[in-house]
Amino acid sequence: MATKSRADARIRRHQRVRKFISGTAERPRLSVFRSLSQIYAQVIDDEKGFTLVSASTLDTELRGQLVGKKKSEQAKLIGEAVAHRAMDKGIKTVVFDRGGFRYTGRVKALADGARSGGLEF
């Protein structure tokens, strides 16, 4: 009998949720991906298939602020950064896509940072 990995379960959860969540030009999708050491956030217009705004822990302009901070603190800063970049492009409301990850820890910190940065979801 084949074993099911946690990564496969996360992908199945994400596909199941994505059937109902889609980003538009008026209300794009805030997509989160969390790896073991990094976190990524993108604001996506699914109708056109474009990434409008993105931020991650690998961004060169954010690296100085992230040094020496815990992962959840880094996630909050990434959320604030993606919110500021989205607000600069005129995006105020988004649909939150947690990417199949549980809404706790770094995913929740990123969402809280995006809310404190001015995004509504």
Write the CATH number for 41: 3.30.420.100
Return per-residue pLDDT of the chain as tens, 121 residues. Answer: 567 899 999 999 999 999 998 998 899 999 999 999 999 999 999 999 999 999 999 999 999 999 999 999 999 999 999 999 999 999 999 999 999 999 999 999 999 999 999 999 9
Picking from 92, 93, 113, 97, the residue whose alpha carbon sits closest to that of residue 33 is: 97
Q: Judge whether 1 lies within some domain.
A: no
Q: Judge whether 25 lies within some domain.
A: yes
Q: Judge whether 57 lies within some domain.
A: yes
Q: Judge whether 87 lies within some domain.
A: yes
Cα distance between residue 91 and residue 108, in whole Å = 20
Q: DSSP alpha helices (H): ranges in 48-90?
A: 63-66, 71-88
pTM above 0.85, yes or no: yes
Which amino acid would we find at residue 88? D
Q: Judge whether 34 lies within some domain.
A: yes
- Check residue 1 and give its pLDDT: 56
Q: Please, what sign has the CA dihedral across residues 40, 43, 46, 48?
A: negative
Which amino acid would we find at residue 49? G
Stated as kind and residue range, the H or E segment containing 11 is: helix 6-18
Cα distance between residue 53 and residue 87, in whole Å = 10
- Check residue 41 and give its pLDDT: 98
Picking from 49, 67, 51, the residue whose alpha carbon sits closest to that of residue 59 is: 67
Domain with 52 in it: 6-116
Q: Judge whether 107 lies within some domain.
A: yes
- Check residue 4 and give its pLDDT: 80
Q: Judge whether 61 lies within some domain.
A: yes
What is the phi/psi pair of residue 94, to 5°? Answer: -140, 165
Q: Judge whether 72 lies within some domain.
A: yes
Domain count, the chain: 1
